Amino acid sequence: MRKRRIFSLFLCLLFFIQVLNAQHKKQEAMVGISQAYYGMFDEDNQYATKEMLDHIRREKFDLILPRVMREHQVDMWIHVIRPWSWSGNEYRRLEHLDLNYKNLDSTDPLRYEFGTNNAVLIFTDRGGDRIERAVFEGEVEDPEAYDIVRGESKFINQENYEILDYVTEHPDKIPETELGYRFMGLREFVAKRDPKRIAVNYCEKLSLAEGSETYTLALTDGISYADHLQLTKALGEKYAKRMISAEYLILDYLTRRVASEIVLYGISGNLREKEWSFDKLVPGVTTLRDVRGDWFCTREAGHDERAMRNHPLQQGDLFQRETNPYYIPRKGETELPPQVKKVWREVLKVRKILLENIKVGPTAEETLNVLIHKLEEAGFAYIDRDTFNPNLDPKKTQVHLDMHAEGKGVLAPRISPMGPRWHRQTKIQLFHTFAVEYMVHMPVPEWGKGKHIYICIHDGAVVTGRGMEYPYPPVNEVRIIKIKEENHE
């Protein structure tokens, strides 16, 4: 009996501790969102509150939605997110924590913008300054952002008793397939508004999956063939003929920002800056993997970074961790050697060229061509891939560019030779946020043929009416690691 009491007391204490931990955990709008491409809304960002993200959503509805719909001459936009297209793993894992995380695990590119992973959403231009926003079916995290919220269909769960009762009471109104329950009453809703052009989230030319960072979670290309059939039937012949692809409308909506997004983007970038301690680094013993470094910067032609992960760091080595460059001084050195100073000057020269030439208006491809011209004019050798070319002029530093959009999953507009063509053909909009990702390969011929120093920069920037600006401090120096004497004697 006593053992049972002790065990029961232990379980109660464990439950109490878990409750306290849940209560003290910061309330985030989307926990784990960094895995779903929203770096600025990362769970470590204490400013990414539900209130802030709801504010961004409403600002975009007010300021961006009318503009993009009218630019594309769209009267109605129907966006369907299937309720069965997400796994629910994160939902279950975070259950009972009282967090706003319901749009996790969905791969729809607008899951955050609309605040749902399960809905039929309808936006209608009925004139005036505002677009009517309706949740025709489903649930959203921010219902106050919508004008009409009809609520979740009681038929989504095919295993409940409500659908059994409905089938029994209305045998003449049963859709041909369960997929059709979501669209019941849609024709009447649409007919009342009588739109001439109806944009629907399916793709004809763009591949949003290919256009996203596919190594983590590829975005979907829109509704399935089955949903397209159901939507066509629900609309009827008259309105089905008015359907067009919403792919470019979606792209424009994703690539345009409001001011509050830039505020959050800048804060989140600043939070990434961390001071790392290398007190336990022992030259000749400690490896790049031990210090969680990303890559060596001192290289030979044909450098294989994978083979260097367990290679001991030596005095005189230069490496990067989270794109911050660190130098391990040789005995007696108190400042950076000339070659390292020179490569950093080259990094800053490239930065200056970017700051002066990235502006609102041109496409990413037009901007890339301008930058290539300016780089070569300044004495650099532009390379279309991030690989040192030993056959180029050894007196010229080689530069590669891959400056893709950041914060929304879709990488366009992308100032880079990489990716699909539409990445480069997308225009740079006001408040475009992007990764200032460029790679510098500086030959050091005095070290031997093919020897070079590699620096990869990956900061974040925004394009304002004045041009490219940094919303948080970029990497500004090569840091010298202080090695304790006892560590390398």
pLDDT digits (tens, 9 = 90+) for 142-156: 999 999 998 766 665
Q: Which segments of the chain belong to CATH 3.90.230?
A: 275-488
**What are 262's two structure tokens?**
């830039």
Q: Which of the four CATH numbers 3.30.750, 3.40.350, 1.20.120, 3.40.50 does domain 20-264 have?
A: 3.40.350
Q: Is 378 helix (H, G, I), strand (E, B) or coil?
A: coil
Residue with tokens 């409403």: 58
User: For the whole model, what pTM was predicted?
Assistant: 0.83
pLDDT at 417 over 80: yes
Degrees to nearest 5, angle at CA 43 with 429 and 476 = 60
pLDDT value at residue 391: 94
> Cα separation of 104 and 106, whole Å?
6
Cα 27 to Cα 21, 30, 266, distances in angstroms: 12, 9, 20
**Confidence label for 26 from pLDDT (cuts 50, 70 and 90):** very low
- In the chain, residues under CATH classification 3.40.350 are 20-264
- Cβ distance 299 to 454 under 8 Å? yes
Contact 222, 201 (CB under 8 A): yes
Query: Does 184 or 376 have the greater pLDDT score?
Result: 376
Alpha-carbon span 455 to 295, nearest angstrom: 9
pLDDT band for position 36 (cuts 50, 70, 90): very low
Domain with residues 275-488, CATH architecture: Alpha-Beta Complex (3.90)
- The highest-confidence range among 1-15, 165-179, 220-234, 420-434, by mean pLDDT, is 420-434
State the first-to-last Cα distance of the chain, in angstroms, to the nearest integer: 62
| Backbone φ/ψ region at 208: left (φ over 0), alpha (ψ -120 to 50), beta | alpha
* Predicted pLDDT of residue 297: 92
Helical pair 225-240 and 186-193, crossing angle rounded to 10 deg: 40
What is the Cα gyration radius of the chain? Answer: 27
Give the mean model confidence (pLDDT) for residues 258-263: 90
Quick: pLDDT tens for 37-87.
344 554 456 777 788 888 999 999 999 999 999 999 999 999 998 876 554
Region class of 80: left (phi > 0), else alpha (psi between -120 and 50), else beta: beta
Whose tokens are 């007696």? That residue is 332
Phi, psi angle pair for 308, to nearest 5°: -100, 0
